[in-house]
Each structure stands twice: as structure tokens, then as C-alpha cells.
A and B are shown apart, each in its own frame.
Chain A
Amino acid sequence: MLQAAGVNRDMTASIDPASPALSVRDLTVAYQGRPALWSVDYTTPQSGLVAIVGPNGAGKSTFIKACLGLVPTLSGEVKIFGERLARARNKVGYVPQRGSVDWDFPVSALDVIAMGRYGHVGIGRRLARADREAALSALAQVGLADLAQRQIGELSGGQQQRVFLARALAQDSQLYFMDEPFAGVDAVTEQAILDLLHKLDREQRTVVCVHHDLQTVADFFDHVLLLNRTKIAEGPVASTLTPENLERAYGGRTMQGVALPRAAARP
């Protein structure tokens, strides 16, 4: 029972092309009696990067945590490539918020990236040579090959974020959930992350990112899911982030100081 699914090494073989990567119906999550997320229906598009956008406390992180089974749900159904989550674990990769871990923890960059292989290896088993090579190659893909043995606390913020991304790459998943991967990173890391996301998109993998910066949504992403506890709108960025929808999501009060995204500013 403790054996995590490690059978399906060739994941592309078992994917039903007719099923969307993520399909969510009536998803409702409550913390201490108050809904953080109310009856959200959502299905990812065939291709293109997806941003989840909304004000603070809108349930953006809660949405992806509920999809990953990290928080208990009150109601709803999450299907990954048409299957229940428990049967599709190895098709899902996750990049948590950078602030969610203790960066003083005694592990190296390579150790963290190798954790991406754990889902394939299973509990109580050791990493194989191929897993180590996959971790090294993921490290190289994010441009940190020469920092493999560095303790993670000795990396810059942007490098730490890239370590998290490399760990997700090592997971070799078909669907990725990322929680604010662009938060607090420098311009070059931002570009490096963006290049990676586009590469994943070209490889027909689905990427769903919580994104905090309205100004860059249109530059970085193709689709958007606009949340404020309930689903406000979804669709292509330009036609979804309209001033009316943003007003509904953010409300008049919080709109002050929030610059309109470029897409919405266009006539």
C-alpha cells in the first residue's frame, strides 16, 4: 500500500487524447466553515499556458492545492486526463510557492531536484542511475549545472525558484501546477522560466500557473482563469481580462493601485 505508483514509466502511452489534462466540476473548499473556493467548474484548453488570476485571498493557491489533493474538499470532482487523481499522480507535477519551505534545510540543489524522481521511484526504494541522470539534466536545463552541490540557502532567490522548476522538470509530468513561479525573481530568471514554460507547452504538456501580476498576464500566458472565490471568467487572455471582469474580480476598492493589463487597455 505504501508503494506509490511507479509502474507507468512511459506516461504518454496511457494518455487518452480525448480527455482534457484537467477537468474540475463543482469544486468547493472551506477553511473553518468559510468557503475559500465556491463551486468552480474548469477545463483546461487543448494547448497554451494557463494563468490563474485574482485578488489576494481569492482561492488561487487553494484551487491548485485542491486539484492536487493537498486540501480537503467539501464537494467537487477533479479529473486528470479523465482519471481520478489517485490513478494519475505521476502525470502531475507541482511547483509550490518558494516561501513554503525552509531554505536553511541541509540539502543541496541536486538533492532537491532528485526529489522530483521520488514519485517514479516509490516509497522505500532508492534512486536508480537513470533518475540521477534525469536530475542532472533538469539542473542543466535551468542553467544551474555548476551549482549542483550548493546548499539551497546559498542560492539567490531566482536560482532557488529555478531549482523548484528543475525539480518539476525531473518529474517529467504531463500536467504542471505552479504556484507563483514568477514571484520575486529577477528579469533574467523570469525569461528563463518563461522559456521553460513555452518549451513545456510545445511538448504538448499543460501548465497551470497562479500568477499575481496583472500587467504581465497577457505577455506570459495564453489563457486565464479569473477567480474570486468563485469563477469570474475564463478564456483567452485578451477577451477575458476585460475591465468589467476585472472589476467583478477585484472590486472597486482593490482596483486602486492595480494597473490594468495591457490586453484590457487595448480598444
Chain B
Amino acid sequence: MSLALSEALARLIAVLTLQAGYNANTVIAGTAVLGAAAGVVGTFVFLRGRALISDALSHATLPGIVLAFLAGTAIGIETRSLPLLLAGATATGLIGVALMHALTRLPRVTEDSAIGAVLGSFFGLGVVLLSYVQNLPLAGQAGLHHFLLGQAAAMARSEAITIALLAAFALAVVLYFFKEFRLVAFDRDFAAGLGWPVARIDLAMGGLGVAVTVIGLQTVGLVMIVALLVVPPVAARFWSNDVRTVALLAGIFGALSAYTGAAASYALSDMPTGAAIVLAAGMFAITGLLFAPRRGVIGVALAALRFRLGLARVRWLARVAAAEAAPHADPWLRLYLRATGLSDASGRPSARALREAPEAARNLSLWLAAITRRPEAVPAGARFGVDAATEVLPRDLLNEIEGRVA
């Protein structure tokens, strides 16, 4: 291992364990709060299917940032002022979203093309303005490009505290209105039927997404802030079927990603914070994609294999019950039957197989009756032939078919 790499690692570990000094520690902790808020707010961005709109919004903030900087310089603000820049970012970001909605109403403009048009043209305008400003003899413009990919290490302690407070406020609002957000995201019409101000609740949900996007611009960067909103909930969704747990996990994943990413940007020179944060969040998503027991790739493949083996086993046992001396079995099934003690080396059923066969045959015929008589009454998660019909099928359906099968 090269010396440079091991030094970088040592620095990273020092920063991660909060030994990088007061200022750095504050920025890292503040970024972690931002990550937690992004994960929780992002859960509703994800569930409402607003990831692309958020991406267009964040790209549309760039012209606003540069114009706000120019305006600030014109009225004599010496250094770049964060509130002013964020106000400019919000303004053009929202103009972009409004334009997108207006475009969507035109004939033959689909939502994805409207999003693409706004994202591309606003970002293009922003880049042109940025390169123009960078050639001007002005103070403070050097930091502007950090808004693209994010730079936590360039942040002042006071800025980090402001960001953390704003993020904590956004987080608190989601937690307070969690029940309302959940219902409006799930069933808008029913919420409206209760007399709830659905449009305002939905606006609040979207507004919090805008708020987190804007306050995260400096740290994470406008190119990647949408990923911090959306990737943690996507990762969390692999592990849970309950929106409360999804939001909690997304908050934890977001905080950990932001923490690691901010630390990396301190430890490794020229490492953009946003890229490091999103890379860490991506690790959580990939872990879930692979290893989550019920929704992960491996879990799903194993379940499919178990189902295949189980069904083959049941069908073989049903033939045994029908008094076949040595029912046919493919080589892989023969191996499985031998390994589980259901048949001997010659493929003939063992004593245990003979004991289990009648029940397996009965289960299979219950399933066949169910699937032919009332397929729509079979619960979605139940496994045909493999699960015990008497346990997973609705009682009413069993009552109806059991008489016929017996």
C-alpha cells in the first residue's frame, strides 16, 4: 500500500472520530442533521413520486445563486451572504417548477419532457452565468462553484449551525404532521373526504422538499442533493413495509451518509462533499438491494428456488400418494429427495415419504380447487401448493372447496 493512501486513511479515521478540530466537528455534525432531515422528508418525496421534479428544482437554483451573488455585489455586500444566495436559489428553483407545470399543460408535452427541458435550460443558463462571473474581478466569487458539487470543508461554523437548525425544523414539521402526510400520500381522495385541506398539506410536503434542497445546496451541491433526498428512502424501503420504519431508517441512513461524506471531504483534499455523501448513501441502497431478506435480490432468488423445490417435492409426493412405485424425478429433484430423506438411492419413496404423501396430495388438491374456483380470493403472498392451504387461504374459501375435495 502506498504511503499516500495510508496517510489519507489515517486522516479520514481521525476526522470520522471527531478529532479534526471544533470547526470541522461542527460542520460534520450539522451535515449529519441535514442528512437525517433529507432522509425523512425524502421519504415523502419518494412516496409521492417527486424525485424528478426535485432534480429539476435543484438544477434550476443555479441561475438564482449567481444572480443573487451579482445583486449582492451591486448593492455593496462584500463577501457572499448565504441567506441572499439561498433566496436567489429558491426563487429560480420555484420559477423552474412553475414553468414545468405550465409546460405540462400544453398539448403533446409530457411531464418527463417538461422536466428535462426545465432542468437542462436552467442549469445551462446557470453555468453560463457562473463562468461569466468567474471572469469578473470580484471578491467572493471563487466559492460559488462549490454549489455544484458541494463543499462542506469550505463552510463556516455559523453556516453549519444555521443549516442544522433549519434542517431540524423541517424534520420536526414532518414528525408533527406524519399522520397527515402519510394519509395524503396514500389516499388523497379519502383525506379530502374527511374535509382536510389536502392541497395545503400536499404543498407543505412539497415545500419541505424544496426547503431541504435549498439548505443542502452548499454542502451537498445542486447536482446531487436529490440523491440525498431519494436514495436513503429507497434503501430503507427494502427493509420495511411500514412507512414509519421506512422514514426512521431513511433518516438514519441519510445522517450516516452525510456524516461520512462530510468527514471524507475534510480528510481528502479536493473530494466534493456531495459525491462522497451520495456514494455512501448508494452503499446503503446496494446493501438493501442485495441483502434485504424479503425484497433484496438474493432473498427473492432464494425464495424462488425454495418455491420451485417445494412445489416439485409436493408434486412428487402427490404421485407417491397415487400409489406410483417410483415416480419420475429430474436429476436435481432426485438429489434433493435423497438429501431430505424422502427417497432411497433407487428413487423409491422412503417410509417417511409414504407417511407425508397423503397430506401433501390433499394440500395440492385444495390449492388446485382454490385457484380454479376463485383465483381472486387467494392472498397475493401465498405460495401455491407449498404453503399449507388450511393456514393461508381464507376460511370462507376453504369451507367452499373442502367439501368437494374430501
Q: Which residues of A contact B (CB under 8 A)?
A: 2, 4-5, 65, 68-70, 85-86, 89, 92, 94, 96, 100-102, 105-108, 111-112, 115, 118-119, 123-124, 126-127, 143, 150-151, 153-159, 167, 177, 184-189, 192
CB distance from A210 to the nearest CB of B (A): 13
**Residues of the A chain whose Cβ atoms lie less than 8 Å from the Cβ of B396:** 143, 188, 192
* Complex CA–CA separation, A245 to B124 (angstroms): 62
Option from A4, A96, A151, A159 in Cβ contact (under 8 Å) with B195? A4
Task: Decide: B187 and A96 in contact? CB cutoff 8 A.
Answer: yes
Task: Decide: A115 and B379 in contact? CB cutoff 8 A.
Answer: no
Chain B interface size range: 35 or more
Task: Decide: B183 and A106 in contact? CB cutoff 8 A.
Answer: no
Question: B193: CB under 8 A from chain A?
Answer: yes
Of all chain B residues, the one with the shortest Cβ separation from A188 is B396
Option from A105, A115, A167 in Cβ contact (under 8 Å) with B47? A105
CB distance from A76 to the nearest CB of B (A): 18
Task: Decide: B376 and A155 in contact? CB cutoff 8 A.
Answer: no
Question: B185: CB under 8 A from chain A?
Answer: yes
Task: Decide: B186 and A105 in contact? CB cutoff 8 A.
Answer: yes
Task: Decide: A189 and B194 in contact? CB cutoff 8 A.
Answer: no
Option from B193, B195, B243, B397 in Cβ contact (under 8 Å) with A107? B243
Q: Given that A94-B193, A106-B246, A186-B377 are contacting pairs, would A124 and B186 also be in contact in the complex, using a CB cutoff of 8 Å?
A: no
**Residues of the A chain whose Cβ atoms lie less than 8 Å from the Cβ of B374:** 186-188
Option from B193, B246, B376, B400 in Cβ contact (under 8 Å) with A70? B193
Listed A/B pairs (20) with beta-carbon separation below 8 Å = A2-B197, A5-B195, A68-B193, A70-B192, A94-B190, A101-B187, A106-B47, A106-B242, A106-B243, A112-B186, A115-B187, A118-B183, A118-B194, A123-B180, A151-B242, A156-B394, A186-B376, A186-B397, A188-B377, A188-B396
Of all chain B residues, the one with the shortest Cβ separation from A102 is B186
Option from B193, B241, B379, B400 in Cβ contact (under 8 Å) with A159? B379
* Complex CA–CA separation, A70 to B188 (angstroms): 10
Q: What total count of A-B pairs have CB within 8 Å? A: 111
Q: Given that A89-B195, A115-B183, A124-B180 are contacting pairs, would A94 and B379 also be in contact in the complex, using a CB cutoff of 8 Å?
A: no
Q: Given that A105-B185, A107-B186, A108-B242 are contacting pairs, would A154 and B194 also be in contact in the complex, using a CB cutoff of 8 Å?
A: no
* Complex CA–CA separation, A195 to B77 (angstroms): 73
Q: Which residues of B contact A (CB under 8 A)?
A: 47, 176-177, 179-180, 182-183, 185-187, 189-197, 237, 240-243, 245-246, 374, 376-381, 394-397, 400
Q: Given that A106-B241, A155-B380, A184-B376 are contacting pairs, would A101 and B186 also be in contact in the complex, using a CB cutoff of 8 Å?
A: yes
Task: Decide: A119 and B194 in contact? CB cutoff 8 A.
Answer: yes
CB distance from B345 to the nearest CB of A (A): 41
